[in-house]
Structure 1
Amino acid sequence: MPLHIQTPLIESRPLSDRTGHSVWLKMEIAQPSGSFKARGIGYACEEYFRRGAKRFISSSGGNAGLAVAFAGRNLSVPVVIVVPETASKRARELMAREGAEVIIQGKSLSEANAFARSLVQPEDAFLHPFDDPLIWTGHASIIDEIVDTGPKPDVIVLSVGGGGLLCGVIEGLNRNEWQDVPIIAVETQGADSFAQALNAGALVELPRISSIATTLGASAVCRQALEYSRKHRIGSVVLPDKLAVSACMQFLRDHDAVVEPACGVALAAVYERVPALSGYKKVLIIVCGGVSTTVDQLQEWSAVMQ
């Protein structure tokens, strides 16, 4: 059995009524580890375990590490997760609850990643949070499920951090011959490495992550994400933290589900009816999930950002 589940695909009446689109939600928040990361990370962990890995090592801002910890516990493989100082206390606690050893190292994900790599021994498998073809193949199963259940969307809206979800979705579209479905890639201001790479025509490394959406906090997207942008129709949208938090709060009211700002920013693009959505009827949002945010925290952010 795979380490992920088939998640619900539901029509959102609140979002559809509000926007005039037919809005569908792929509810990756329902994954056992709380986010879409269970797919690609789980798939990669199973493959590395099959190849003989005796320990999993990863770096993470939260969701990837939790997926590795979940996979390790289910496969009875020890796990070490290196997190940056920006990782939330809740995320660290959830990883530890899954049995992982959690090490805090570095001010950014790139620094945590470098330290995690330094720990790798010959019998270990290193799980990058987003830059691994195995992970993209695992994430592609999102599209397999949508193809099986329908309907075919006119456009897919998703969040981008390091680009792993984006690469997986495009891989899934390609293998199901849905290459004609465009993507709107959404980021928060201060964590917009993909948008900056698109503008520059080359990878751009952010000097720091200033967004509260720390799980989008990759200083640079993976090269494959930029390569796909040259072949697949991808629109880029960058929104402020305030709108991401507002969308999280509205989604909580509409669907009684808590998501973190890294997910909320994709919802915000639809709630705010960004121009990039003009002309599309069936809009599918990948509700990527995330467990590092609580209702109390969302309320605190919302009060501060008023």
Structure 2
Amino acid sequence: MTLHINTPLLESRPLSQATGRRIWLKLDALQPSGSFKLRGVGHACESHFARGARRFVSSSGGNAGLAVAYAGRQLGLPVTVVVPETTSAHAKTLLALEDAEVIVHGSSWHEANALALTLVGEDAAFIHPFDDPLLWTGHASLVDEVAKAGVVPDAVVLAVGGGGLLSGVVEGLQRNGWEHVPVLAVETEGAASFNASLQIDTLVELKQIESIATSLGAKRVAEQALVCARQHPVSSHLVTDLQAVRACERFLHDHRVLVEPACGAALALAYDGQRLGEAQNVLVVVCGGATATSEQIVAWREALTPA
């Protein structure tokens, strides 16, 4: 029994027709908390619970915080989530819906995270949004499910924020004997900390995030993301905010699933067949995102579209 569910794996006819190849969708937008985060967060929470934790603390106004709140409610433990002032009212409503205590602090995730760390007492476990081996092992289950379904991709497309999903997918590929399967790691141009780090093979911290894809808004990725790029074929790709938002709208029309611009970044690459290289059997991780609304997507697109 796990807190996450085995999500659907579907061939996308619209994407396959658009690109001239077979495009497979791993629909982690359908996880109970709204994103792939529940895989790793659920695994971490269950592990800490088994070791005696009786409370969870998190620092995320987005999908990681929602996953911790969901996991805590399922395990019967109280959850405190510290969010920055930039967190939307909708996100705070979703956290409250999961019975989490929400504390607003600081202008960025880094400030919220600093406060969250001071709240971790003896009986509490801190659940990091992306930089924890427990998370990566949990996220790797996504690849296990693809393997069990009998689909063998020759490329995987995913979005990179802090690098937790990338680290987990690479772990999953390697433990299933798919060391040769390349990963196409996608960021928006204003949140490209992984791309910057990859260029000089050392961690780079961005001065600020200049993208609406706030779920990709880690100023610095986890060290493990670079380790994965050294040990596995990983290529970095950038899309604009407008391309990401347009991909969200197109995906909603094609598959009736609403995702955040962070997920739209990966979908933007998938819709552009020319950027998929020679791969003919492509797995796209539809990582989801619960905090965006259709109204927001439309407003972003209108604001970003040149006059």
For Structure 1 versus Structure 2, the TM-score category normalised by the shorter chain is over 0.9
SS at match of 2:273: coil
Residue 301 of structure 1 corresponds to 300
SS at match of 1:203: coil
Q: Does 1:244 align with 2:282?
A: no
Shift of 1:113: 1.2
Question: What is the correspondence of 1:60-71 to structure 2 with a 5 Å cutoff?
Answer: 60-71=60-71
Residues 162-181 of structure 1: CA deviation (Å, up to 9, x unaligned)? 00000100111111111111
Q: Does 1:146 align with 2:142?
A: no
What is the count of residue pairs matched by the alignment?
Answer: 305
- In the aligned structure 2, how far is the partner of 1:62 from the partner of 1:68? 10
CA contact (8 A) 1:29 1:259 kept: yes
Shift of 1:85: 2.1
Residues 259-301 of structure 1: CA deviation (Å, up to 9, x unaligned)? 00000000001112353x1211011100000011111111111
CA contact (8 A) 1:56 1:72 kept: yes
- In the aligned structure 1, how far is the partner of 2:181 from the partner of 2:72? 35
Q: Does 1:135 align with 2:118?
A: no
- In the aligned structure 2, how far is the partner of 1:105 from the partner of 1:182? 39
- In the aligned structure 2, how far is the partner of 1:203 from the partner of 1:171? 20
- In the aligned structure 1, how far is the partner of 2:234 from the partner of 2:37? 21
2:46 alignment partner AA: E
Shift of 1:61: 3.5
Question: What is the correspondence of 1:11-90 to structure 2 with a 5 Å cutoff?
Answer: 11-90=11-90
Residue 283 of structure 1 corresponds to 282
Question: What is the correspondence of 1:46-195 to structure 2 with a 5 Å cutoff?
Answer: 46-195=46-195
Shift of 1:302: 1.4
Shift of 1:43: 0.6
CA RMSD after TM alignment: 0.9
Residues 209-268 of structure 1: CA deviation (Å, up to 9, x unaligned)? 111011111110000111111110001001110000000000011001100000000000
CA contact (8 A) 2:157 2:184 kept: yes
2:16 alignment partner AA: S
- In the aligned structure 2, how far is the partner of 1:253 from the partner of 1:45? 35
Q: Does 1:203 align with 2:203?
A: yes
Of 179-188 and 86-95, deviating more is 86-95
- In the aligned structure 2, how far is the partner of 1:66 from the partner of 1:98? 8
Residues 118-177 of structure 1: CA deviation (Å, up to 9, x unaligned)? 111111100000111011110000010000002100100000000000010011111111
Residue 215 of structure 2 corresponds to 215
- In the aligned structure 2, how far is the partner of 1:123 from the partner of 1:62? 24
CA contact (8 A) 1:61 1:217 kept: no
Residues 85-127 of structure 1: CA deviation (Å, up to 9, x unaligned)? 2222211110111000111112222221111111111111000
- In the aligned structure 2, how far is the partner of 1:303 from the partner of 1:21? 31
Residue 271 of structure 2 corresponds to 271
Residue 292 of structure 1 corresponds to 291
Of 168-177 and 265-274, deviating more is 265-274
- In the aligned structure 1, how far is the partner of 2:218 from the partner of 2:103? 18
- In the aligned structure 1, how far is the partner of 2:200 from the partner of 2:143? 29
- In the aligned structure 2, how far is the partner of 1:214 from the partner of 1:143? 25
SS at match of 2:231: coil
Shift of 1:197: 0.5
* Length-normalised TM-score, structure 1: 0.98
CA contact (8 A) 2:18 2:273 kept: no
* Length-normalised TM-score, structure 2: 0.98
2:19 alignment partner AA: T
SS at match of 1:57: strand
Q: Which runs of 4+ in 1 moved over 4 A?
A: none
CA contact (8 A) 1:247 1:268 kept: yes
- In the aligned structure 1, how far is the partner of 2:88 from the partner of 2:213? 11
